[in-house]
Structure 1
Amino acid sequence: MPDLLVRGVDEAIVKALKERAGRHGRSAEAEHRAILAAALLGPRKRSFAEVLAAMPDVGQDADFERVQDSRVAPRVFD
């Protein structure tokens, strides 16, 4: 398995990595591997268009029409 060396990391980041590793009960090196795997191999975020395309085509357009009561003035500023 290849090695990865990261130089010039800010001390605050190293400290945060060690603290996070401690909370998860693993070494800083194991925590670093887990963070890299989650960031690079985790599920890909879907675009807004993909989310919309995945929505089921249900209901009628009239179901989603805006109903405005003409007896109540619209509130612009509160």
Structure 2
Amino acid sequence: MANLLVRNVDEALVQRLRERAAAHGRSAEAAHREILAKALWKPQRKTFAEVLMGMPNVGRGADFARVDDDEAARVFG
């Protein structure tokens, strides 16, 4: 494991880190590692096809039928 030294950090920010760590029952160093990991280890983006395949099957085709302009005007007008 590598070490990371961060200099010139605003004291108010350090205090907030300490408070956040204490609220979660861990050290400021552990909280710092968690914040860095969440910020930098972002999940891979899904492809458009994966997003579409992940959508639940809800309703029938008729439920999503296009409405004519007159009906849309009554609903949204």
- TM-score normalised by structure 1 residue count: 0.61
Task: Write the letter of the residue equivalent to 1:65.
Answer: A
User: How many residues align structurally?
Assistant: 74
- Provide, for residues 24-63 of structure 1, a one-character-per-residue CA deviation record: whole Å limited to 9, x for no partner: 1111111111222233336x16458342342256654322
Partner residue, 1:15 = 15
CA RMSD of aligned residues (A): 3.2
Task: Give the Å deviation of 1:11.
Answer: 2.4
Establish whether residue 39 from structure 1 lines up as the match of residue 39 from structure 2: yes
Query: Taking structure 1 as reference, are residues 65 and 35 closer, same or farther at Cα in structure 2, changes over 3 Å only?
Result: same
- TM-score normalised by structure 2 residue count: 0.61
Task: Give the Å deviation of 1:23.
Answer: 0.4
* Gapped regions of structure 2 (runs ≥ 5): none
Partner residue, 2:26 = 26
Alpha-carbon distance in 2 for matches of 1:57, 1:75: 26
Task: Write the letter of the residue equivalent to 2:31.
Answer: E
Q: Which structure has the highest helix share of the two?
A: 2
* Gapped regions of structure 1 (runs ≥ 5): none
3-state SS of 1:73 partner: helix
Task: Write the letter of the residue equivalent to 1:20.
Answer: R
